[in-house]
A = this chain, B = another copy of it.
Amino acid sequence: MEELVGLREGSSGKPVILRELWGPCPRLRRNIHRALEWLKKRLFRVGEDWYFLMALGVLMALISYAMNFAMGSVVRAHKWLYREIGDGHLLRYLSWAVYPVALLSFSSGFSQSITPSSGGSGIPEVKTILSGVILEDYLDIKNFGAKVVGLSCTLATGSTIFLGKLGPFVHLSVIIAAYLGRMRTKAIGESENKTKEMEMLAAGAAVGVATVFAAPISGVLFSIEVMSSHFSVWDYWRGFFAATCGAFMFRLLAVFNSEQETITAIYKTSFPVDIPFDLPEIFFFVALGAICGILSCGYIYCQRTFLFFVKANGFTSKLLATSKPLYSALAALVLASITYPPGVGRFMASRLSMSEHLETLFDNNSWALMTKNSSPPWLAEPDPQNLWWEWCHPQWTVFGTLVFFLVMKFWMLILATTIPIPAGYFMPIFIYGAAIGRLLGEALSVAFPEGIVAGGEVNAIMPGAYALAGAAAFSGAVTHTVSTALLAFEMTGQIVHALPVLMAVLAANAITQSLQPSFYDGTIIVKKLPYLPWIRGRKIGSYPVTVDHFMNCTLPTLAKDMPLKEVIKVVISTEVTQYPLVETTESQILVGMVKRTHLVQALRTKSTSWAPGQQPCLQDILARDCPTQPVTLQLSPETSLHEVHNLFELLNLQLLFVTSRGRAVGSVSWAELKKAISTLTNPPTPK
């Protein structure tokens, strides 16, 4: 039947399958058929890219959920062991402490044995990669395995070690994105393209955040703020799409697993929506932001200093260099001993998991008012209905435990960040901020038990709202972002405190950004990763600075008429990756550039094939053996520092040549730029 074809009257000679002619409404059916064909083509043409983004989101959501699920079981097993082991203090202590010690030393040993770069958060490195610097092996799939296993162990220690999963997840997601990007390039036979690769990595970063907190919008914004100084709306849309897929999948799994009835926020709050706060409370929210800003400056400063100390100190640096697992075990022992619940841990709610910490801190009621007359009992294990009882102590009251929690966690967190394991530092900071806010909120609720606006209806002060603002402000200040406000809303599923939280975050950011680099920038500085600093404050003094003030003038150029001997001399004496190629030694007119690797190869193969009397010059090997690249963009000595900075930031450049009247006169790389900017910021004292 299929083979029976004919020509329709008046048709343009295209054969028509007869069945098509015989059926009812042939024209309509043909049109529908054509429309479907068009749709199919359309979907696959436009879609190719989007399918990979969707795959990225879904994959990361699966990994994130599986990790949460597995680690939840391990934590429950630990709790069970601790509960069932009997009343002997030694046994209980051992069951509490040995577990994290073992896990952390394994995590550190395993991940470091596979690749030494798997430790830490990973966000600073991803930031460096997204700014165009190539970090070898950092996006390797080997790193993925090390990080997944290491992170799982870290998370299994629960709130004892008090570390999260955001940073490593961003890193994992970027690795998967790089992998998928390569797959896509192969699948559709496209030539490799750096822009497209970067687009995929940027989407990966957004997905990483979104699949940890099920917060697609703030996931995209947070990753933008943390990672880059410029962003394209195109990348932002792609990030949105991938992040939404990821967040949807992540929450869908929770529904399928009967944890929840439908898709909701992960730390649902229940603030009243009609009058969530009295107007004068705005002042306290801004004050809270300022407090968080000041504390975050202290935190960032101490953390950086301690990191330097650990690296500089003889004992610790030796320990970290030779036996990382031992260092991890020691640190874990200290942290676990302090959080041991019958001991000091009693005063810092250490029996709660990290998500329980958040849930309790976001609680609506004022604990101080509720425990005014009778303090809750100290149960053998936390009461699931009244988890907040863990924060109360008959003598210390809520204030005592919160202050103790803040004081102890301050240095414990700093200690934890020095342990060489894959771990996220965002979640602990978020909880720390929530505790700051809660403390202020509780104090206010005691000071104004009837609410602030006297007369009329009583709107009790909700300490939970302050905890929310504190969490957003402190984490925003530490990471130099404002999208943590949105993250707080997406995590709690309520946006009634939009303005107060935003104002707190802005106040905190204003203080921290003018005094300290962000947590991630600090790590970049300590780790000495290549990065381009901002021109801070955009001081006017920086405007007249032009390229000829700071360019690298000792540029080794290769002239086409250079004898090969001299070329070899230049290649041996310098270490740059690419050389500017000029017309003649005399004219120095820039015509292109040569990659060092190509040149070395060409020299190796050719250096033996010339007769001794001959004087071969560079031109002779250029044509066939050593490809030259065109110089697509040239600077002038008159280009301003700002323009160059913009160019480097926007186009993720590594090196630009400077020409004057066609002559190659210098080059600018990020090293020169960095020096120029630091000279501007800290002018050298005239001697």
Contact = CB atoms under 8 A, between A and B. Distances in A.
Contact of A262 (B42, B278, B659): B278
A543 interface: yes
B650 A639 contact: no
A547 to B, nearest CB: 8
Contacts of A495: 265, 489-490, 493-495
Interface in A252-268: 252, 255, 261-265, 268
A486 B217 contact: yes
A265 B632 contact: no
A380 interface: no
B540 A190 contact: yes
A193 B229 CA distance: 20
Nearest to A490: B498
Copies of this protein chain in the complex: 2
Interface in A95-139: none
Interface in A617-653: 630-640, 642-643, 646-647, 650-651
A196 B646 CA distance: 13
Contacts of A661: 583, 589-591, 662
Nearest to A537: B46
A340 interface: no
A241 interface: yes
Interface stretch (A140-148, A231-239, A599-607): A231-239
A609 interface: no
A540 B491 CA distance: 39
B493 A493 contact: no
A279 B256 CA distance: 10
Interface stretch (A269-277, A383-391, A422-430): A269-277
Using C-beta atoms within 8 Å of the partner chain, give the interface range for chain A.
35 or more
Contacts of A537: 45-46
B632 A635 contact: yes
Nearest to A547: B632
A401 B536 CA distance: 58
A493 B496 contact: yes
Given A485-B217, A632-B635, A277 B251 contact: no
A180 B116 CA distance: 53
Interface in A509-546: 509-510, 514, 534, 537-538, 540, 543
A482 interface: yes
Among A224, A494, A495, A638, the most chain B Cβ lie within 10 Å of the Cβ of A495
B499 A244 contact: yes
A60 to B, nearest CB: 16
A506 interface: yes
Nearest to A189: B540
Given A635-B633, A650-B646, A661-B662, A233 B229 contact: yes
Contact of A282 (B216, B263, B631, B643): B263
Contacts of A499: 216, 244, 247-248, 251, 263
A313 interface: no
Given A217-B502, A482-B240, A646 B651 contact: yes
A639 B656 CA distance: 14
A654 interface: no
A619 to B, nearest CB: 15
Top-7 shortest CB links A-B: A662-B662, A630-B638, A632-B639, A650-B650, A495-B495, A634-B634, A230-B232
30 contacts: A42-B514, A45-B537, A216-B499, A224-B233, A231-B233, A240-B482, A244-B499, A244-B502, A251-B499, A252-B279, A263-B277, A263-B500, A264-B273, A265-B496, A265-B498, A270-B273, A273-B494, A489-B495, A490-B495, A494-B494, A494-B496, A630-B636, A631-B638, A632-B639, A632-B640, A633-B633, A633-B636, A633-B647, A643-B651, A659-B662
